[in-house]
Amino acid sequence: MVDYVRWMVSYYDAATNEYLWQDEEVPPRLAVGDGVLLPIADYRRFRVEDVWHSYDSHGDLDRGTHVFLRDVSNSEEDRAKQKNPGYYTS
């Protein structure tokens, strides 16, 4: 029998280190440059700047995956809005 291990994924603003979102379901492994759409603040769109996998149970980067994002909403990198501009208001 395989034990299930909860692996939290936390998302932060890469410029300010502000906490943005946390997910308890493990998504596919993210890499630098991947696009991420989060259900916060009018579904802002981001690019992955850095990813850290922490096995420490203490401190700022607790156990889990920590993804640092750069907001690309309304920029030339905003592929999601380019695909469907009427859907995204910001």
Dihedral angle over CA of 42, 43, 44, 48, nearest 10: 160
Q: Is 62 within a domain? A: yes
Q: What is the pLDDT of residue 32?
A: 96
Structural domain contains residue 28: yes
Confidence of residue 2 (pLDDT cuts 50, 70, 90): very low
Q: Classify residue 36: in a domain, yes or no.
A: yes
pTM, full prediction: 0.80
Surface-to-core class of residue 49, CB atoms within 10 Å of its CB (0-12 exposed, 13-18 middle, 19+ buried) = middle
Number of structural domains in the chain = 1
- Give the mean model confidence (pLDDT) for residues 13-20: 94
Separation of alpha carbons 3 and 48, rounded Å: 30
Residue 22 near residue 11 (C-beta atoms within 8 A): yes
Region 10-29: what's the mean pLDDT? 86
Strand partners, 77: none
Phi, psi of 70 (to 5 degrees): -115, 125
Expressed as residue numbers, the domain containing 30 is 9-75
Q: Are 56 and 50 in contact (CB under 8 A)?
A: no
What would the pLDDT profile of 32-76 be if each residue is shown by its tens digit?
Answer: 999 998 888 778 899 999 999 888 877 788 888 899 999 999 899
**Residue 67: predicted pLDDT:** 94
